[in-house]
Chain A
Amino acid sequence: MPEPMLSLAGVNTHIAQYHILHGVDLEVPRGSLTMLLGRNGAGKTTCLRTIMGLWRASAGSLRIDGQDTTRVPTPEVAQLGVAYVPENMGIFAGLTVRENVLLAARAGEPDAKRLEWIFGLFPAMQKFWSSVAGNLSGGQKQMLAVARAIVEPRKLLLVDEPTKGLAPAIIANMVEAFRELKRTDTTLLVVEQNFNFARSLGDRVAVMDSGRIVHTGRMDALAADAGLQTKLLGLSLDTHQ
């Protein structure tokens, strides 16, 4: 069995005096899209930030593509081929769309074919290429955040709530974009609250509660089990359709 792209073993994270993650164990298989679900405050964002090295794990170990990254600083985690789209999108509002994308292309000018592919996924990015990013709508900012993360091929993409606050039409655009991303070699770990979005894209699912992983398995199995959804997430898919 191939080594997973990402593995967390017994990861604990403290933020100041607060103990947020309590021994998280998680494996994200190569080339899969794993959804990380859970109620508000379950520790999903802390989990992604700990993987990126933005918050240091106080115990446990992290491995990305076979390499121990438990004590590796954020820039070096990114240089391993990891891209991160934070919950607040992390857009540089004073820079243009082009400058935001250019900054993410560490090798220099973005590859023209790759850029065409991104424009195909998010046509608004081409339209607003020279616009100041701070003037974009919420949906366009989210598109820019994802576009920036994939401007160069990445091994692992960490995305925190990509549909948060977005209109249905933009969410549909995001679903299409993530489907296209799944056809590449990129492994994805996506934190999401929108169960329909998660169900339509996820290969695998992990559910967090109170700083622990309480369930892992196939997404389609969870989607088919209303009782398990209610138990883990406090909802049933039927009520969300």
Chain B
Amino acid sequence: MALALVPVIALASLPLVGSLPTWVTLTVAGLAMGMMIFMMASGLTLVFGLMDVLNFAHGIFIAVGAYGAASVLTRMSAQMQAESLASDLTAMVPAVLAAIALAGVLGWFFERVLIRPVYGDHLKQILITMGGLIVFEQLIHVVWGPDIIPLPRPGTITGSFILGEAAIERYRVLAVIVGLAVFAAMWLLLNRTRIGLLVRAGVENPEMVESLGYRIKRLFVGVFVAGSGLAGLGGAMWAMYQEQVNAQMGAQVLVMIFIVVIIGGLGSVGGCFIGALLVGLLANYTGYLAPKLALGSNILLMVLVLLWRPRGLFPIGKA
């Protein structure tokens, strides 16, 4: 039933929006936003579920990923003006790889230095990760400067497709495609590989995984680094969507990411995916229909979901 929420909300909004072309535009925008939120949130939900770590520093991986991508893209701006997909890709692929690598390395550092000493202590986790977020935001100012960096999109993903009377931004279509690819890759990894099996088992009962002879701490590091890398990818996509980067951009979306993780059920990647789509769609529909409600719509959604399912849409049966 929870799976049906996305099409139900989308279809229910159609008579409220009134115009089909506007509805199509809003729906694609909502799905694109949802996919980008999913990329940023999926790592956090696994870290929550597997490691029981409240990581309030997750936003810094998003920001660092965005800055990493921006650094590459600004140096390769010549390639992006050629109006050729191949030329754009020679700039975008290294930019995305840089975002993932930079955020992943920072994630490894966080896990080793800040989080490992506070496993099992939620209060200290909140304090140290909040502190880490603030310190690294300031370090971003030191490395990249305090000003907002404008980030023009590559030529081939600028502008819109026109479908009948509906205008659909090319970049949003790209975000949907990348989001679906990331979800498919994560689904295959989690459901078709032994490492995925270990991660799913570890989310439920890490102690039993250890009792079966597996070193869960190594898995922790791998998941933390992968989750940080995904946040970096999401940050790069989000920065190109916003067409700018700033040090606080991760912290600004952190509340929305936590809402998605809670709605989906802690530790559930599928739940995170559905939760992100719901948040993205609702933000766009309410932004159009009742702009004053847009800010609170996601919190209202979370309250309603938790009243219906207190452990989220797809709860993991933790031991």
Contact = CB atoms under 8 A, between A and B. Distances in A.
A75 interface: yes
Interface string B187-225: 000000010011011001101111111111000000000
A187 B205 CA distance: 26
Contacts, number: 59
Contacts of B214: 75, 106
Interface of B: 194, 197-198, 200-201, 204-205, 207-216, 316-317, 319
A94 B317 contact: yes
A99 B211 contact: no
B210 A78 contact: yes
Interface in A68-113: 73-75, 78-79, 84, 86, 88, 90, 92-95, 99, 102-104, 106
Contact of B211 (A78, A94, A102, A134): A78
Task: Please classify the interface of chain B as helix (H, G, I), strand (E, B), loop, or mixed, using the class held by over half of its residues.
Answer: helix
A165 to B, nearest CB: 17
Given A78-B210, A78-B212, A99 B317 contact: no
Contacts of A74: 207, 210-211
B213 to A, nearest CB: 3
Contacts of B211: 52, 54, 74, 78, 84, 86, 90
Contact of A90 (B194, B215, B319): B319
Contact of B201 (A78, A79, A103, A106): A103
B269 to A, nearest CB: 12
A90 B215 CA distance: 17
A95 B210 contact: no
B212 to A, nearest CB: 5
Contacts of B200: 92, 94-95, 99
A167 B255 CA distance: 49
A92 B316 CA distance: 10
Given A79-B213, A95-B197, A95-B201, A86 B208 contact: yes
21 contacts: A54-B210, A73-B215, A74-B207, A75-B214, A78-B210, A78-B211, A78-B212, A79-B213, A84-B211, A86-B211, A92-B200, A92-B205, A92-B208, A99-B197, A99-B200, A103-B197, A103-B212, A104-B212, A106-B212, A134-B317, A148-B212
B207 A88 contact: no
Q: Specify which of A75, A93, A102 lies most central, judged by the most chain B CB atoms within 10 Å of its CB.
A: A75
Nearest to A79: B213
Contacts of B208: 86, 90, 92
Contacts of B197: 95, 99, 102-103
A86 B205 CA distance: 12
A5 B96 CA distance: 55
Contacts of B319: 88, 90
Query: Which 3 residue pairs spanning A and B have beta carbons closest together?
Result: A78-B213, A90-B208, A93-B317
Contacts of A99: 197, 200-201
A79 B210 CA distance: 10
A61 to B, nearest CB: 21
Contact of A75 (B204, B210, B316): B210
B245 to A, nearest CB: 38
A94 B204 contact: yes
A75 B207 CA distance: 10
Nearest to B212: A104
Q: Specify which of B197, B211, B216 lies most central, judged by the most chain A CB atoms within 10 Å of its CB.
A: B211
A52 B208 CA distance: 11
Nearest to A148: B212
Interface string A29-42: 00000000000000
A6 B197 CA distance: 31
A54 B205 contact: no
Contacts of A103: 197-198, 201, 209, 212
Contacts of B216: 75
A104 B207 CA distance: 13
B54 to A, nearest CB: 22
A6 to B, nearest CB: 16
Contacts of A54: 207, 210-211
A75 B194 CA distance: 17
A13 to B, nearest CB: 16
A106 B216 CA distance: 14
Nearest to B314: A94
B201 A92 contact: yes
Nearest to A74: B210
A99 B190 CA distance: 12
